Structure 1
Amino acid sequence: MKRETGRLERPGCSIHYEVTGEGPALVFAHGLGGNHMSWWQQVGHFAPRFRCITFSHRGFWPSSAIPGGPEPDDYAGDPAALVDHLGIESFVLIAQSMGGWTAVEYAQLRTGKLRGIVMAATGGSIARDKLGDPAALAAWEAASAATKQALTAAGGHQATGLRMLAEQPAMALLYQHVDEANAGLAKEALRARMNGMRRRPPEDLAAAGCPILLIANEEDVVMPPFASAAIARAVPGARAAMISRAGHSAYFERPAEFNALVDGFLAGL
């Protein structure tokens, strides 16, 4: 299988990227607990039919470190420059959690290159109060806080969840190893900057001008499971799907289900 790695020089940093396979382009944008390696179960599945481009966001290993941490409003410019560098004229952007900030803000650039977007367990820079009924949000936040406490006590990670920790301990440990590659990153400061960007109405996602799939996870304690459907209702051409018995990182925990949903989405483009 054809595979290449490279670095793209950007203002203030360099971006590590990998290209695996040949065919229509898929660009993967990882979450706060990941890097380019997070997508190994997707690259292995899709690369026989697609050109899979993974990259590490600025400030995330092995892209260059940034003193004080990255500014998430700089994220969208990096994949924009990367697809230009690789000569890609159209692609599908697959974004998970933090990668949703990249996706929503890239959509605002209106490059005309997007064939589709997959938003997995994320609303990106869409305002929190637009993600569902306030009472439902409050109830979910209270339940999620209790689950996060239990995860911390068990030595788990909030992005994996209690089920992965119990049923797939090796996968939960691998997730933590990937996350720890970014040990020098000030994640709470970055999270605060991301939260400060949450001002957009969901209708702004329509700027993408392409079909959109929003994937929710039934046992997510980071992103309300009902938020994906709320966003989809506000955006023409968007639809939502749910993965059952999965925490925040279903692409990692339930790759067969996640990949099947993405396969169905790609087949319809």
Structure 2
Amino acid sequence: MPPFLAFEDKDPGIPSRAPLVLVHGHPFDRTMWHPQLTEFATARRVIAPDLRGYGASPVTPGTVPLSRHAADIAELLDHLGVHTFVLAGLSMGGQIAMECAARFGDRIRGLVLADTFPAAETPEGRRHRHAMADRLLAEGMRGYADEVLEKMVAPYADPEVKAHVHGMMTATSPQGAAAALRGRAERPDYRGLLATLPVPALVLVGSDDTYTPVADAEAMHAALTDSALHVVEGAAHLPNLERPREFNRALGDFLARLDG
């Protein structure tokens, strides 16, 4: 039976190194990881899925909780024969990575949390996410994409990066994005999980991220028992695209530690 999710799987055939699984944020798709696929797939297997409702994956209307995204990832990795791996997620993808750690953490060799935060949604935040879901269903993605572009990436970001990010957002299904927003509004609190995480972690954040500021990353770093923190200067919410060399250097150092 074919996997539910669309995905990219680059495998150079080096089984001694744990595969790297990359989980994108909202409202993007797996192409947001292009600089990391290019950099790391020469030395290890790298897998980047399109989450349910995003990219080329099927859309499920209504509400898609983080637990469903986590189950989709587990099912995809089972299909690909990948049992243990390093898991990296950015923004919503980071929260999905934490959900994965809660559900099948024994399969995870290392956890990378980029521009994300572990707390449960506030009542105000839940109202906002449900209102945004209603808006996307009524209006589509373009107005939202225009509004948030220079929060997703810094105003001074490279124009090609801005165009890529805007293109991902406008190509996203409003139904898929709305379902994920409703599911994310109901997410649990992962802070207790982080305090007991038994594997090394890397926390990354853009210095100019206003969605998940540096203070959130510092709090995660403090909660984790074995973690490194790297602040990517000159980037906002998508440092992997805005400053890929620096992001890749930090991620590469973390992977080298795990390989060692």
The bucket for the TM-score relative to the shorter chain is: 0.7 to 0.9
What does 1:141-152 correspond to in 2, within 5 Å? none
Partner of 2:228: 239
Partner of 1:95: 89
The CA deviation string for residues 16-37 of structure 1, in whole angstroms up to 9 with x for no partner, is 1121132330000000031111
Distance 1:183 1:67, change over 3 A: closer
- CA-CA distance at 1:15 after TM superposition: 0.9
Distance 1:158 1:198, change over 3 A: farther
Q: Is the 8 A contact 1:157 1:176 kept in 2?
A: no
> Which among 158, 164, 167 is matched to residue 174 of structure 1?
164
- CA-CA distance at 1:81 after TM superposition: 1.4
Q: Is the 8 A contact 1:203 1:235 kept in 2?
A: no
- CA-CA distance at 1:69 after TM superposition: 5.0
Matched, 1:259 2:248: yes
Partner of 2:200: 211
Indicate the structure with greater strand content: 1
- CA-CA distance at 1:80 after TM superposition: 1.3
One-letter code aligned to 2:58? S
Partner of 2:49: 55
Partner of 1:3: none
Q: Is the 8 A contact 1:91 1:113 kept in 2?
A: yes
Partners of 1:64 and 1:152 in 2: CA distance: 25
- CA-CA distance at 1:106 after TM superposition: 0.7
The CA deviation string for residues 183-232 of structure 1, in whole angstroms up to 9 with x for no partner, is 433635633431331533x2312454210001011100111211111111
Q: Is the 8 A contact 2:7 2:47 kept in 1?
A: yes
> Which among 115, 118, 121 is matched to residue 115 of structure 2?
121
Indicate the structure with greater helix content: 2
More displaced stretch, 185-194 vs 96-105: 185-194
One-letter code aligned to 1:82? L
% same residue? 27
What does 1:4-83 correspond to in 2, within 5 Å? 7-8=2-3, 14-22=4-12, 23=14, 24=17, 25-68=19-62, 70-83=64-77
- Aligned residue pairs total 232
RMSD over equivalenced CA pairs, Å: 2.2
Partners of 1:56 and 1:157 in 2: CA distance: 23
> Which among 70, 78, 96 is matched to residue 84 of structure 1?
78
The CA deviation string for residues 81-118 of structure 1, in whole angstroms up to 9 with x for no partner, is 12211111321001111101211111112442211011
Corresponding residue SS for 2:214: coil
Corresponding residue SS for 1:31: coil
Instruction: Give the TM-score of the pair, scaled to structure 1.
Output: 0.79
Structure 2's unaligned 5+ residue stretches are: 123-144
Partners of 1:101 and 1:252 in 2: CA distance: 19
Partners of 1:77 and 1:261 in 2: CA distance: 28
The CA deviation string for residues 103-147 of structure 1, in whole angstroms up to 9 with x for no partner, is 111111244221101101012x43468xxxxxxxxxxxxxxxxxx
Partner of 2:152: 159
Partners of 2:213 and 2:230 in 1: CA distance: 13
Q: Is the 8 A contact 1:114 1:209 kept in 2?
A: no
Distance 1:111 1:233, change over 3 A: closer
Distance 1:89 1:206, change over 3 A: farther
Partners of 1:198 and 1:71 in 2: CA distance: 10
Partner of 1:104: 98
Corresponding residue SS for 1:76: helix
Q: Is the 8 A contact 1:214 1:232 kept in 2?
A: yes
Distance 1:263 1:220, change over 3 A: same
Partners of 1:188 and 1:161 in 2: CA distance: 25
